[in-house]
C-alpha cells in the first residue's frame, strides 16, 4: 500500500521536475532604469562612437531623443560637434540635436506608435566626419498593468506540485524506515 502511495505521489510530482523545450509562461518584466524604459541603439565608427536613446513606450508625437557621442579611441565625450540624425521611415526627418552637456545631444523626433525608422547619425568635428547607421527606431504603445495576472496562479500551481513532491518523499522515507524496523 505504501509503495502505491509513493508511486502515486511521484507521478503527481513528476511534471514539476526539470524538463526541456517548453515555454514557462511570460517573461518577467524588464527592470526599469533610473531614466525609465529606454530603447538604446549604438554604433562605432573610425573616429566617433554614438549611442541613441529614446523611450521604448509612448503615445506617439514629439518624442525626446538623446544622442551620446564619444571619441572611439579614448571614449571621451565629444564637445562642439555638429550632429545630424536622419530618421527614414514613413517620413524622412532630418534632426539637428543640440548639445546639452559634453557628449550629450538632445532633439525631439516625431515618432508615431508602431512605425519604424532607420536611424543614421552624421558626426562632424573639424575635419573628422563619421556616418553611422544605428538600426531601427520604433515606439511601442504604453503597457497597462492589467496585462499581468496569470503569474500568481502559476506560482500556486508550482507550490502545490512541490508540496506533493515533498509529501511523496516523506512517504517513501517512512516506508523505508518501517521496512527496516519490522523483523
CATH of the domain at 120: 2.60.40.1930
Cα 6 to Cα 103, 158, 162, 178, distances in angstroms: 66, 19, 15, 14
Question: Has residue 145 got a pLDDT over 50?
Answer: no
* Mean pLDDT, residues 79-94 taken together: 92
Residue 156 lies in a domain: no
pLDDT of 86 reads 94
Strand partners, 166: none
- Whether 59 shows a pLDDT value over 70: the answer reads yes
Structural domain includes residue 106 = yes
* Number of domains making up the chain: 1
Q: How confident is the model at residue 76 (pLDDT cuts 50, 70, 90)?
A: very high
181 torsion bin: left (phi>0), alpha (psi -120 to 50), beta (else): alpha
Helix intervals (H) in the chain = 2-13, 150-181
pLDDT for 168 beyond 90: no
Tracing cell 508602431 back to the chain, one arrives at 114
Of 165, 150, 154, 155, residue with least CA distance to 17: 165
Residues 67 and 54: beta-carbon distance below 8 Å:
no
Residues 60-74 have a mean pLDDT of 89
Convert the pLDDT of each residue in 100-128 to its tens digit: 999 999 999 888 888 889 999 999 999 99
Cα(125)–Cα(141) distance, integer angstroms = 37
Can you give the pLDDT at residue 83?
94
pLDDT band at 165 (very low <50, low <70, confident <90, very high): confident
Alpha-carbon dihedral sign for residues 66, 69, 74, 79: negative
Banded model confidence at residue 82, pLDDT cuts 50, 70, 90: very high
Contacts 24+ apart (CB under 8 A), 156-163: 158/16, 161/12, 161/13, 161/15, 161/16, 162/13, 162/16
> Is residue 179 a part of any domain in this protein?
no
Going by pLDDT thresholds of 50, 70 and 90, the confidence category of residue 147 is very low
pLDDT score, position 103 = 93
Residue 96: which domain range? 38-138
Residue 29 belongs to a domain: no
Residue 146 has pLDDT above 50, yes or no: no
Residue 115 forms part of a structural domain: yes
With a cut of 60, say whether residue 182 has pLDDT above it.
no
- Domain assignment present for residue 18? The answer is no
Task: Look at residue 44 and tell me if it is in a domain.
Answer: yes
Residue 59 within any structural domain of the chain: yes
Amino acid at each position: 500500500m505504501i509503495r502505491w502511495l509513493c508511486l502515486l505521489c511521484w507521478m503527481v510530482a513528476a511534471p514539476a521536475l526539470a524538463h526541456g523545450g517548453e515555454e514557462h509562461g511570460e517573461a518577467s518584466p524588464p527592470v526599469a532604469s533610473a531614466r525609465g524604459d529606454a530603447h538604446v541603439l549604438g554604433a562605432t565608427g573610425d573616429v566617433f562612437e554614438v549611442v541613441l536613446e529614446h523611450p521604448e513606450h509612448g503615445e506617439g508625437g514629439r518624442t525626446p531623443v538623446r544622442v551620446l557621442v564619444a571619441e572611439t579611441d579614448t571614449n571621451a565625450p565629444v564637445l562642439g560637434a555638429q550632429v545630424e540624425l536622419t530618421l527614414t521611415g514613413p517620413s524622412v526627418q532630418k534632426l539637428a540635436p543640440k548639445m546639452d552637456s559634453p557628449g550629450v545631444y538632445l532633439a525631439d523626433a516625431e515618432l508615431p506608435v508602431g512605425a519604424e525608422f532607420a536611424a543614421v547619425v552624421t558626426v562632424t568635428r573639424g575635419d573628422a566626419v563619421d556616418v553611422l547607421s544605428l538600426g531601427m527606431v520604433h515606439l511601442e504603445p504604453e503597457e497597462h498593468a492589467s496585462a499581468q495576472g496569470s503569474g500568481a496562479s502559476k506560482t500556486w500551481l508550482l507550490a502545490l506540485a512541490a508540496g506533493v513532491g515533498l509529501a511523496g518523499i516523506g512517504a517513501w522515507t517512512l516506508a523505508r524506515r518501517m521496512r527496516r524496523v519490522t523483523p
